[in-house]
Each structure stands twice: as structure tokens, then as C-alpha cells.
């Protein structure tokens, strides 16, 4: 039997949350459907407010966003906010292309005091590029002691470094709020 929330205030995710979070990640409706393992038509109806999915589907959508580092919060006065909790790093050279979405990683200092990425899922240590010196995403660059789960990987060949992979991950050391 189809179970829907009793009222809109019971929803674990609102349509405007879904649109905003998807935009924040640069995902299409197809991307979100694949990550949440639901049909694209369900997302389209939800975002256009022509239908409310079941609570189970709403929780799958919310989980896909939370795994990608997005936290949903409601303030005391009822205002909703999205917090981008994601971090990123750049892997260089040998083994850089072995990391995939879902892998657990940690960041630590290597023997030469440079940061390295330890892919715990695949048991490999991969060289990391140094933190960039400026730009809006500098504060979210990986730090020594970070741990997380990878949600996006963009790899490319580079003439100087071989393979370069930009990894986005959701830190597991941060507390994630639950508004449901």
C-alpha cells in the first residue's frame, strides 16, 4: 500500500529543496534518479509539484543528497537552508584513476610531509596535489585527518602528471542534521 506523509510538514524533503540541492551539485534529473535509484519521472513530478512521492522515495532522494555532502536544516522560525558539506582533493599520477564513487578515503601526511589520499576501499595510497593558494573552493580542500565517502570523480590525462583525478567527497567526521 502506498504510504504518503500525513502533511507537508512531515516531508523529509521538499520540492524546492530537491531543485536547489540538485542545482548546487550540477546534477540533471537523470543524474539524481540514478543516484537515488528511482525513476526520473518521479523527480520531474515532485519538482514541478504535480505529485508527492511516497515517504520511502523522499528518503531515498534525501539520502542521495546527504551522501553528496548536502545537509538540510530548518531554523527555529521554520526557514529552510542547504549546507554544502562536501570537500574535494586532486589526485596525481599512479593510481589516481582507481578511486570511484562510494570508495572510503582518508587524508594523511606522507613521509615527505606532503598530503596523500588513502583509498581504504581499494587499499592504495595516492599522491595529492597541494592545496590551491586562492579561490572560492580553497576552504573545502582536503585537510590532514579528513575522512569521507567519494561521490564524484572527474579524471583526465595530463602531459606532466599522467592521470589527474578531482575527487569530491562527503566528510564522515561532520555531524549531519536530521530534520525529519
| Gap between the Cα atoms of 165 and 74, Å rounded | 35
Residue 7, pLDDT > 70, answer no
- In the chain, % helix, strand, coil (3-state, to 5) comes to 25, 30, 40
Give this prediction's pTM: 0.75
**Dihedral (Cα; 169, 74, 18, 37), 10-degree rounding:** 60
Task: Give the burial string for 10-22 (b: 16+ CB within 10 Å, else e).
Answer: ebbbbbebbebbb
**Of 8-17, 41-50, 112-121, 128-137, minimum mean pLDDT range:** 8-17
Residue 158 bridge partners (DSSP):
162
Sequence-ordered list of residues with C-beta below 8 angstroms from that of 33, at least 6 positions apart, any chain: 39, 40, 42, 43
Per DSSP, the three-state class of 115 is strand
Average pLDDT, the chain: 87
pLDDT at 11: 62
pLDDT exceeds cutoff 70 at 2: no
Let me know: does 21 contact 61? Beta carbons within 8 Å.
no
- What domains sit in the chain, N to C, each tagged with a CATH number? 8-84 (1.10.260.40), 87-171 (no CATH)
Locate all alpha helices (DSSP H) within 8-162, ordered by sequence: 15-25, 29-36, 40-47, 55-67
Per-residue pLDDT band at 57 (split at 50, 70, 90): very high
User: pLDDT tens across 78-123, in order?
Assistant: 788 888 999 999 999 888 999 999 999 999 998 888 999 999 999 9
Amino acid at each position: 500500500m502506498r504510504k504518503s506523509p500525513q502533511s507537508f510538514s512531515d516531508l523529509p524533503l521538499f520540492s524546492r529543496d530537491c531543485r536547489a540541492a540538485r542545482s548546487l551539485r550540477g546534477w540533471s534529473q537523470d543524474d539524481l534518479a540514478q543516484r537515488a535509484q528511482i525513476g526520473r519521472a518521479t523527480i520531474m513530478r515532485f519538482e514541478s509539484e504535480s505529485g508527492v512521492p511516497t515517504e520511502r522515495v523522499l528518503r531515498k532522494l534525501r539520502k542521495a543528497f546527504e551522501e553528496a555532502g548536502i545537509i538540510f536544516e530548518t531554523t527555529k522560525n521554520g526557514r529552510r537552508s542547504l549546507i554544502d558539506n562536501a570537500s574535494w582533493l586532486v589526485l596525481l599520477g599512479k593510481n589516481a584513476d582507481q578511486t570511484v564513487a562510494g570508495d572510503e578515503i582518508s587524508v594523511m601526511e606522507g613521509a615527505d610531509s606532503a598530503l596523500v589520499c588513502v583509498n581504504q576501499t581499494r587499499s592504495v595510497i595516492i599522491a595529492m596535489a597541494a592545496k590551491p593558494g586562492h579561490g572560492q573552493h580553497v576552504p573545502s580542500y582536503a585537510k590532514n585527518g579528513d575522512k569521507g565517502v567519494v561521490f564524484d570523480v572527474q579524471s583526465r590525462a595530463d602531459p606532466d602528471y599522467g592521470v589527474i583525478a578531482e575527487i569530491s567527497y562527503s566528510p564522515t567526521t561532520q555531524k549531519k542534521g536530521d530534520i525529519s
